[in-house]
Amino acid sequence: MCGIVGIYSHKPVAAEIYDSLIHLQHRGQDAAGILTYTKNTQRKFHIKKGAGLVRDIFDEQNMARLQGNLGIGHSRYPTVGGFGIEDAQPIWTAAPYGIAMAHNGNIVNYPDLVKELWQKDRRHLNASVDIEVVLHVFAHALDKATLTNPDSDFFDLICSAVQSTFSRVSGAYSVVAIISGKGMVVFRDPHGIRPLARGIRRNEDGSDDYIFSSETTMFYSLGYDLDGDIHPGEVVYIDLEGNCFSRRLTENQFSPCIFEYVYFARPDTTMNKISVYRARLRMGQNLARRWKETYPDILPDIVIPAPSTANTSALSMAFELGIRYSEGLYKNPFIGRTFIMPGQLQRKKSVKYKLVPQELEIRNKKVMIVDDSIVRGNTSKEIVKMVRDFGAKEVYFVSACPPVKSPCFYGVDMPTRCELIASNMNIEDIRKEMNVDILFYQNIAELVEAVTRKGDHNIDRPCLACLDGVYPVGNINKDIMNGLETQRNHERLKI
């Protein structure tokens, strides 16, 4: 999972891209980069990338070098490629024109495309990150279209290149790019698995500025109004004069990732015309209603969230149950998100640094812990142990997400079945493993209902691959799954 942003403006964009990446920091903490473009006679890319948090990579000196009115930015959480600076985004190629690109997602047929690009297209790859294959597939197709139809409208050439990309690249990808001498290009995979929102800012002189981002959290502070989302299979092109063109090239099943609403997205974002905050309120509401049906004679004394992604669902569930809500676990705000940390030991160690139980809220009480999900189970077990250590009389553990049983190959770090606790145990075994009195999961139907109940979203079927094993794209069979898991395990050894 990563955060991307692209801005076309009538003023310098570096500071706004930096601010946007700060808003997207929760989506990736391993690396970040900003690339800007000066559209004057120099026609030059300016780039700064680094490992770590956004605030630690950029300073006054290197920000001053990032000149230009077009730019793209990226905050990285790696699921493909290494963890070095060479795999940080954006990346670029010199031919044709000069193209820079960043993306959020994961390419399923990455190994095959690497071979094709070298053997068939004669294009050399410098990194091991999957955006590079998207870049070269697009660049090769654009070069070919330009040579074949030199007199064609440039937007038609872009559409031809993106269509070729759609036909060759399998997986999830939302892309922002800059083409030297031409402008900005934005597109989203045919199933729209990864999010990509669009914003517009009206200037006093009648001109428009545009922003494209994984989330909408920075729109208000930067003065942009939400202008919908990039549709699945849609490409947008903004030329150097600010003229905006768009075309939807395919209309497949719209399957945005359900886990964005459960965990990854900030609650103050609107994604695919759905409020993430309201979706999480509805998750808690549905959980509470089914709890009362399943356990009509059992109520906790207190409901506490596993902060902070679960706060909204826990608040709603407590309200529906008529039980006091309390922040019984204090979160250290300076510790990163444990789910996206690269190693199991690092995740487990950071939980105790991250969370501190509040004894007066826990001791001698029947405590209901509400978490957004249970993935590997390590964090959940540590939380339960903390609560029991501080004197809870009984512990009920509630997950706003159904059991996570299958790996995600579309950008979420759930690479192997052996790591997923629900892939190897039934619910009763998980309950015993976690040492809780009751373990209660959301079911798939109620999660989908919570996300899709409101909003003009046009979602056909959310991507539920990690929950039900049905993958929208990629023809993922057992052999492909084994290969992808082996690849990911090999890359983890580089950490």
| Domain of residue 174, CATH code | 3.60.20.10
**Cα atoms in the 13 Å half-sphere on the side-chain side of 224:** 25
Rounded Cα gap, residues 368 and 437, in angstroms: 10
Could you tell me if 85 and 201 lie in one domain? yes
pLDDT of residue 492: 57
**Secondary structure of residue 288 in the 3-state scheme:** helix
Least confident window among 144-148, 219-223, 333-337: 333-337
Q: What are the tens digits of pLDDT across the range 89-125?
A: 999 999 899 999 999 999 999 989 999 988 888 887 7
pLDDT higher than 70, residue 342: no
- Boundary-marking domain end, from 196, 224, 252: 252
Q: What is the DSSP string of 449-481?
A: HHHHSSSS---SS-B-HHHH---SSS---HHHH
Catalytic residues: 2
Residue 150 inside a domain? The answer is: yes
Least confident window among 78-87, 142-151, 227-236: 78-87
Residue 68 inside a domain? The answer is: yes
- Give the pTM: 0.93
Residue found by looking up tokens 């605030």 in the block: 55
pLDDT higher than 70, residue 239: yes
pLDDT of residue 479: 76
- The first and second tokens of residue 3, run together, are 């955060």
Mean predicted confidence (pLDDT) in 204-213: 97
pLDDT higher than 90, residue 50: yes
pLDDT higher than 90, residue 346: no
Could you tell me if 380 and 470 lie in one domain? yes
DSSP secondary-structure letter at 231?
P
pLDDT of residue 40: 77
**Cα atoms in the 13 Å half-sphere on the side-chain side of 237:** 19
Q: Contact, 349 vs 355, CB < 8 A?
A: no
Residue 266 inside a domain? The answer is: no
**Which of the four pLDDT bands, split at 50, 70 and 90, describes residue 405?**
very high
Could you tell me if 291 and 406 lie in one domain? yes
pLDDT of residue 353: 79
Pick the more confident residue, 334 or 476: 476
pLDDT of residue 25: 96
pLDDT of residue 80: 58
Percent of the chain with pLDDT over 70: 94
Q: Contact, 206 vs 178, CB < 8 A?
A: no
**Which of the four pLDDT bands, split at 50, 70 and 90, describes residue 348?**
low
Residue 61 inside a domain? The answer is: yes
Domain that holds residue 377: 272-492
Could you tell me if 87 and 190 lie in one domain? yes
Could you tell me if 49 and 180 lie in one domain? yes
Q: What are the tens digits of pLDDT across the range 300-321?
A: 999 999 998 999 999 999 999 9
pLDDT higher than 70, residue 433: yes
- Boundary-marking domain end, from 252, 286, 302: 252
Could you tell me if 278 and 425 lie in one domain? yes
Residue 23 inside a domain? The answer is: yes
Could you tell me if 198 and 276 lie in one domain? no
The pLDDT mean for the chain works out to: 92
Mean predicted confidence (pLDDT) in 156-160: 98
Q: What are the tens digits of pLDDT across the range 85-94?
A: 778 999 999 9
**Which of the four pLDDT bands, split at 50, 70 and 90, describes residue 83?**
low
pLDDT of residue 175: 98
pLDDT higher than 60, residue 390: yes
Could you tell me if 245 and 310 lie in one domain? no
Q: Where are the beta strands (DSSP E) in 53-207?
A: 70-76, 91-93, 99-107, 171-179, 183-188, 197-202
Residue 300 inside a domain? The answer is: yes
Percent of the chain with pLDDT over 90: 79
Residue 132 inside a domain? The answer is: yes
pLDDT higher than 60, residue 339: no
Residue 267 inside a domain? The answer is: no
Q: What are the tens digits of pLDDT across the range 121-146?
A: 888 777 778 999 999 999 999 999 99
Could you tell me if 139 and 238 lie in one domain? yes
**Secondary structure of residue 174 in the 3-state scheme:** strand
Could you tell me if 207 and 287 lie in one domain? no
pLDDT higher than 80, residue 345: no
Least confident window among 102-116, 190-204, 327-341: 327-341
Could you tell me if 235 and 291 lie in one domain? no
Rounded Cα gap, residues 23 and 211, in angstroms: 14
pLDDT of residue 421: 95
What's the CATH number where 380 sits?
Answer: 3.40.50.2020
pLDDT of residue 125: 79
Per the structure, the count of domains in the chain is 2
Could you tell me if 347 and 402 lie in one domain? yes
pLDDT of residue 491: 61
Report the candidate in 424, 462, 465, 427 with the shortest Cα–Cα distance to residue 446.
462
Residue found by looking up tokens 């039980």 in the block: 323
How far is residue 269 from each of residues 23, 273, 360, measured CA to CA in Å? Answer: 10, 10, 34
- Boundary-marking domain end, from 224, 252, 280: 252
